[in-house]
Amino acid sequence: MPYFAKVIQVAIAVYRGFWYNNTRKRIPEAFGDAQIRPLPLRISWKRGLLMKVTKRAQLYLMRKYKRGILLFLLLFVVSSSILVGLCVWGSINAAAEEVQQRLGTGFRLKVPSIFRSNPDYCRRVTGADGKETLMYAGPALDDTLIEEIRKVEGVAQYDAELDEYVLLENGELIPGMFTAAYEEYQQAGEMEMADNRAFWSREAMAYGHTDTSLADAFRTGSFSLIEGRHITPEDKWKVLISDRLAQQNGFRLGDSLTLSNRNGMGGWAGFYGLMGELQQVEIVGIFHVNGFQPESEWVAEIDSAYNYLFTDLAPVLYFDNVAYEKQYGFSRSSILYENLTFFVETLEGLEAVMDAVKRLDTVDVSKLDFAADDTMYHSTVEPLNTIRNLVAGSAAAIVAGCAAVLCIVFTMWVRSRWTEVAVYLSLGFGKASILGQFVLEAAVVALAAGVLAFAVCQQVPEKIGNALLATAIEDAQPEEREVTREEIHEAVQAGALGQLYKYESADYAGPEHIEFTFRFTNFLLLLVLELLLITGAVCKGGSYIFTLQPKQILTGLH
């Protein structure tokens, strides 16, 4: 009984002045009226209630500081995890958007690869040699189509591509299959076969582009320009070569390559005869191959990435027309490109631009390979998003685990205060006021934990994010390896020798270092999330306040 009286006296002291301000009645002397000072009448009831809630929360935290420390540690872990997750998420999103804006987002149009077997895309004609052959008769990827699409609102840039076989007349390509065969036939004294292989050892592929900076190989980081400049739409008879090819032949910027188109190239009958005239192209840039391709006698010179020639459209159009005349006996009526890539101003506007292109009367895009250009997504944006999702997922898992622990802690915390709650309810305290006190206690601790986490974790996102970024970049680099005889034997039997020796690119063109910076908005969002978490946990743990009467609560203690 004395203990119960003491509880009543403490409750009255906490609740001082409540009855006086609202009922104008004094508390009986038996409850220690002499020690109770009612609040001045000028203080409103709501303000007085707020002061009581604040005071009670302050007293509890001071009295139960060990529980406060435990809660602080839990909330510090939650705050740190949320802040790191928010920072990494925001910074990587910004980096991915910057990459897409810098390297372009768009769509691609190209002739279907199966057009030769589809009568809707070709027709039979008599070739220059008098034999029947197939001629493409499908939708034209020509300058007329380019001009129509460029008029669509939202289209920013474009790149037209056309490839053609050429022969390097004043230099040697990086050695491969035909060079090795030439040496063997020469040693055997079979000069006709040796000359034939020498011819093929100088055959390369010229990749003509409107703007080489927009070519996939350079956009994805497979190749990097290390000297000179890219080819622009204004250039004529210019070329980019690899550093390996330049070193082997002593080529420098400003030098010229002599290119030709001869009988026997691209599958035409006959050998060595010059078709058209020799053409000079000026070297304006030198690139480095970032990927890896095994050098072997099984790799043809034309398939080696080090022998790729990137030119403007003038050389390939000339040699393409020469080959066309050789096959059909007449010139092209218009330029036909192999594929067209268009870049839009914003990623958000891509779908609208593609819909507008579909409605053009100039061409039926349903008969073409027409799709969004996802080159940059798979090569650069996807690795960034993988890092973002990994860090955010880890942070979310930590937060979820801590949230579960917090729910248990708050449930035990609130239910361990049944006597206090029963007294508050018996004195007329509002249920929301009681829960508000519990929320306020936790919110004060959460604020302190959040401030400390914001100060301590400034460098954590950058270390975690850039460590993962470095790993992603390293994983994107192809691994140099030597092909074994067993692998060669298996590839020959499977007819997949080309796959075994194919070029493996380093398809990453994003940033190698990202600045991860905490923003004040991250801190505000943290406080909102923690307040929701605390409120939910407190309400769950204190749900009995709304269902039980004071007597039932006290009875439940025994």
| Domain boundaries, given as residue ranges, for the chain | 2-12+24-82+384-504+517-556, 112-367
With pLDDT > 70 as the criterion, what percentage of the chain qualifies? 74
Q: What is the DSSP letter of 282?
A: E
Of the pLDDT bands very low, low, confident and very high (cuts 50, 70, 90), residue 502 is low
Judged by phi (left if over 0) then psi (alpha if -120 to 50, else beta), residue 524 lies in alpha
Most confident of the following: 121-125, 446-450, 522-526, 532-536: 446-450
Q: Is 26 helix (H, G, I), strand (E, B) or coil?
A: coil
pLDDT tens readout for residues 97-106: 777 666 667 8
Please report, for residues 74, 88, 123, 274, 473, the alpha-carbon distance to residue 410 in angstroms, rounded to integers and kept in the order given: 12, 30, 79, 88, 44
Q: Per residue in 402-430, pLDDT tens?
A: 778 777 777 777 777 777 777 777 777 77
- Is the Cβ–Cβ distance between 45 and 18 less than 8 Å? no
How far is residue 195's CA from residue 328's CA, in Å, rounded to a whole number?
28
* Rounded-to-integer distance, Cα 91 and Cα 93, Å: 5
One-letter amino acid at 455 equals A
Question: What is the per-residue pLDDT for 478?
Answer: 58
- How confident is the model at residue 269, as a pLDDT? 43
User: The tokens of 355 are what?
Assistant: 């819909």
Q: Give percent of the chain above pLDDT 90.
A: 18
> For residue 178, what is the enclosing H or E element?
helix 177-188
Contact 279, 234 (CB under 8 A): no
- For residue range 163-208, list pLDDT tens digits in order: 999 999 999 999 988 888 878 887 888 877 777 777 888 899 999 9
Distance between alpha carbon 379 and the CA centroid of its chain, in Å? 8
* Lowest-pLDDT choice from 144-158, 220-234, 450-464: 450-464
SS3 155: strand
As given in the structure block, the two tokens for residue 530 are: 């923690």
For the segment 286-290, the average pLDDT, to the nearest whole number, is 91
Q: In whole angstroms, give the CA distance from residue 337 to residue 472.
A: 36
The pLDDT value recorded for residue 40 is: 42
Beta bridge partners of 175: none
